Amino acid sequence: DGGITQSPKYLFRKEGQNVTLSCEQNLNHDAMYWYRQDPGQGLRLIYYSQIVNDFQKGDIAEGYSVSREKKESFPLTVTSAQKNPTAFYLCASSIASRAEAFFGQGTRLTVV
Amino acid sequence: AQSVSQHNHHVILSEAASLELGCNYSYGGTVNLFWYVQYPGQHLQLLLKYFSGDPLVKGIKGFEAEFIKSKFSFNLRKPSVQWSDTAEYFCAVTVTGGGNKLTFGTGTQLKVEL
């Protein structure tokens, strides 16, 4: 099936540990995105990438890092510098320019 | 930078009532507008989109939205809601020439009661 796969669905980590969230797409989309969803705040853009080996900071990039070594993959690392990492993380992809974004099922990260 | 405002955070309606959810954006240039829906336990999916042409766009499940450029608005409407429309609704915008950066509003939680 074509789509976006995020894994795992639920993730628990201890405070101070880095954690990497996986996002893979087989839609042949050029652009990929990471959003964070918190109750009452909608979706806020963390990082996005228009092409391989290139990415830009979104509105809330501090404490996060990404890589785009392959077109299909856009992993997000939540570092220990992120002050409030517990959240629901959504990955999306789109054909670059004027196109709808397709979303994965999300990863719920809990840091204890 | 573009931004999106959704004025209604929580809406409760009875079945068969009409729905209108407000969405305003702030950007003076050419925009592309979207409404997404997130049903409980499901992933975010597209309801409808506007790129150009007829400002009244129709989407899935009987939803429609009207782009009013002079008011910077893209309100979502449905003449008669159903219990299955209970979900969270997000308005979003991209700016032409802005690298396809999709900016979302804060969302409106709709509950439809039987």
pLDDT digits (tens, 9 = 90+) for A7-62: 999 999 999 999 999 999 999 999 999 999 998 888 999 999 999 999 999 999 99
Residue A73 is given by DSSP the state B
* Chain A environment of B107 (Cβ under 8 Å): 40, 42-43
Cβ atoms of B24 and B4 closer than 8 Å: yes
Q: Which of B9, B99, B102 is the closest to A101 by Cβ?
A: B102
Residue A72 has pLDDT above 80, yes or no: yes
Residue A103 has pLDDT above 90, yes or no: yes
What is the C-alpha radius of gyration for chain B, rounded to an integer number of angstroms?
14
SS3 call for B107: coil
- Binary contact (B99, A48; C-beta < 8 A): yes
Inform me whether the C-beta atom of residue B43 falls under 8 Å from chain A C-beta atoms: yes
For residue A66, which amino acid is it? V
Mutate to test the interface with B, among A38, A90, A100 (most CBs of B within 10 A): A100
Q: Which residue of chain B comes nearest to A45, CA vs CA?
A: B103
From the CA of A71, how many Å to the nearest CA of chain B?
Answer: 17
CA quadruple A15, A61, A20, B107: dihedral sign: positive
Cβ atoms of A101 and B35 closer than 8 Å: no
Q: How many angstroms separate the CA atoms of B89 and B35, rounded?
A: 7
pLDDT at B99: 67
Residue B42 is given by DSSP the state S
pLDDT at A99: 73
Q: The tokens of B73 are what?
A: 């608005």
pLDDT at A68: 97
Q: Which of B49, B96, B103 is the closest to A45 by Cβ?
A: B103
pLDDT at B1: 74
Average pLDDT score, chain A: 92
Positions in chain B short of pLDDT 50 = none
Provide, rounded to the nearest whole percent, the portion of chain A with pLDDT above 70: 96
Q: How many CA atoms lie within 13 A of A25 on its CB side?
A: 25
Residue given tokens 């670059």 in the structure block: A96
Cβ atoms of B3 and B103 closer than 8 Å: yes
- Binary contact (A100, B49; C-beta < 8 A): yes
Residue A96 is given by DSSP the state S
